Chains A and B, each alone.
Chain A
Amino acid sequence: DVKVTQSSRYLVKRTGEKVFLECVQDMDHENMFWYRQDPGLGLRLIYFSYDVKMKEKGDIPEGYSVSREKKERFSLILESASTNQTSMYLCASSETGLETQYFGPGTRLLVL
């Protein structure tokens, strides 16, 4: 069974703070993804990575950065959190050549 874990289920931060969201997968997947989910907007891709130290921008990368130092771990960084980054953040992973992505439980971030 694929397991994708996220470091926090709920997080409250203040505007301007630096925020780290961690994601770990245990299936040796090459591909990892960060999405955010907002009501009425579905899931939108922020960043993805197809290998260690590789990263690609998704559809809404502004205000975010990522880090992939190890294959199993993909971090999302909010350099200076803003209220419009209040959202549900979802991490996913997949095997190379396969489309099915497996999601973590999500981190609900509130920026005050």
Chain B
Amino acid sequence: DQQVKQNSPSLSVQEGRISILNCDYTNSMFDYFLWYKKYPAEGPTFLISISSIKDKNEDGRFTVFLNKSAKHLSLHIVPSQPGDSAVYFCAGDSGGGADGLTFGKGTHLIIQP
């Protein structure tokens, strides 16, 4: 039972354009969502998060949108840069941080020059 779904295993975007990564969830108890970025042979790095009481959170080039009724969130990266090429994981939390995150399978973002 996959509670967090990232249906695109990979995404290719031209440098300078917008990258949109999507994530769907099924667990209604999730009240906090996080995006992590991971380079090969490194641990995931926290990117941005959003509480379920909000529908948008912005941090520089990164914006996360949450649509609770659709159980859908998306990460927008504008403009995309070569260093953004990485695997992006979406994660949901329902336990106030105490009992682990539930991750999606990840989307490999490739920024083309």
Q: List A residues at the B interface (Cβ < 8 Å).
A: 4, 9, 31, 33, 35, 40-45, 48, 50, 56, 58-59, 90, 92, 94-106, 108
Contact = CB atoms under 8 A, between A and B. Distances in A.
Nearest to B95: A99
B80 to A, nearest CB: 22
Interface string B90-104: 010100111111111
B97 to A, nearest CB: 4
Query: Main SS of the interface on chain B?
Result: loop
Given A100-B34, A105-B43, A94 B105 contact: no
Contacts of A40: 9, 105
Chain B contact patch, size range = 20 to 34
Contacts of A96: 97-98
A92 B103 CA distance: 13
Contacts of A42: 4, 6, 89, 103-106
Contacts of B42: 105-106
B41 interface: yes
28 contacts: A9-B41, A31-B97, A31-B98, A33-B100, A35-B100, A35-B103, A40-B9, A43-B44, A43-B101, A44-B103, A45-B100, A50-B99, A58-B100, A90-B43, A92-B43, A94-B97, A97-B96, A97-B97, A99-B32, A99-B93, A100-B49, A100-B97, A101-B34, A103-B36, A103-B43, A105-B42, A106-B42, A106-B43
